[in-house]
Structure 1
């Protein structure tokens, strides 16, 4: 009989094969940056079985601008020779980090003092020898602008105010309804109490409709 570990082994292998090496630059297809600012271009890669001597590179419009190798998750990236000079002047790679509770490794690149010539398509590529030299890449577009547009939240605020007002009005109507029902109930109870008291008084005073005892008529 196979042990539980033996049964889960193939499943784990299948899970790793289906995921294999993946590279992601986030959900945003375009990043807008103001001229003269430092801009971070995100990139993470996932290696289900880990990695050894992984090769990575960043290209802009097809031309490599930065690259290097990473021995393992505990090692710092080693820039390639053609990237070393550029790294000091223009590009910086934050220390690789293992994101919490996952197998994603961060190789985002920081572009210092961006200008309009930095606009273009940036591709993050990774090759992992541990996964039979599996390769994967992802592309993101950088658009450098004079000034970032301010988001106008006026419409959103108006919608939220209207919705809030409607909800508040409905709550007020419900409270008024409950108050009216409560008053009507109390009024009805008071009327019933008065009618009952009046009937009792009439009975005690021997008025019409009372059950006061009468002497039987004498027989002739």
Structure 2
């Protein structure tokens, strides 16, 4: 006979309830999801070809994943294509039901995207990507991609970008000029320092000669270069 706790639950029943809550939590956290990526709306020129992106994911895995695409035509859902991914890594079987639709997805990348060729203004609207996974007790999920058809692309105001670029260019140019001037000043100072050192060495040699350190008679008259160095030192 199963034991009962103070709440009236039997132990097996309590375990089943815990497992059920856990299973529902796992399904909720990492169950089937479909997504159009970071961009869920695109603006395209009349007559161009547009990619309608959709990918699926599930940490539980898939089995006989069924999916389809629909276009919302003023409240009427028009089926564009449908297909099934039998299992992981198996390419889907797809049935296209619109003459300007091409399936470009692959199960290798969990991709069920489609191309819409030669779009017209009548193609403007919402496109729904739907999928259901029997492996997750037929959990399903959908996402909407919005297409805006225009006769010409809207101009992007690049004024701020131009201003920022000009300011950055000016700052970089100023930094380069300052660095060049600094390099020239340092080079000039180094050359002047070398001349001063040379003058000091020559002056020291002359003093030693006059004091008889070299054993030769000194000539009191210096060379033009030595006189120039002495003037520079003064």
Does the TM-score normalized on the shorter chain lie above 0.5? yes
Figure out how many residues of one structure are paired with residues of the other and give that number.
184
Pairwise CA distance, 1:161: 4.9
Instruction: Give the conservation status (yes or no) of the 8 Å contact 1:127–1:134.
Output: yes
For 1:21, the equivalent position in structure 2 comes to 32
For 1:74, the equivalent position in structure 2 comes to 90
Alignment of 1:159-198 (within 5 A): 159-198=164-203
Going from structure 1 to structure 2, the CA distance change for 1:158 and 1:71 (only over 3 Å counts) comes to: same
Instruction: Give the conservation status (yes or no) of the 8 Å contact 1:57–1:64.
Output: no
- CA distance in 2 between counterparts of 1:15 and 1:171 reads 59
- Aligned-pair RMSD on alpha carbons? 2.9
Going from structure 1 to structure 2, the CA distance change for 1:45 and 1:203 (only over 3 Å counts) comes to: same
Instruction: Give the conservation status (yes or no) of the 8 Å contact 1:16–1:48.
Output: no
Q: Does 1:59 align with 2:73?
A: no
Q: Does 1:119 align with 2:135?
A: no
Pairwise CA distance, 1:128: 0.7
For 1:128, the equivalent position in structure 2 comes to 133
- CA distance in 2 between counterparts of 1:94 and 1:196 reads 84
Pairwise CA distance, 1:48: 2.3
1:84-119 deviation line (CA, Å, top 9, x unaligned): 5x33x23222252412xxxxx111122222111111
Q: Does 1:90 align with 2:100?
A: yes
Higher relative contact order (CA closer than 8 Å, sequence separation 6+): 1
Q: Judge which range, 24-33 or 165-174, deviates more.
A: 165-174
Match of 1:37 among 17, 25, 48: 48
Pairwise CA distance, 1:37: 2.0
Pairwise CA distance, 1:64: 4.1
Going from structure 1 to structure 2, the CA distance change for 1:181 and 1:95 (only over 3 Å counts) comes to: closer
- CA distance in 2 between counterparts of 1:17 and 1:136 reads 11
Pairwise CA distance, 1:130: 1.2
Question: Which stretches in structure 2 are left out of the alignment for 5+ residues?
Answer: 1-24, 214-234
Compute the TM-score of the two structures, normalised by the length of structure 1. Answer: 0.70
- CA distance in 1 between counterparts of 2:117 and 2:193 reads 79
- CA distance in 1 between counterparts of 2:100 and 2:208 reads 106
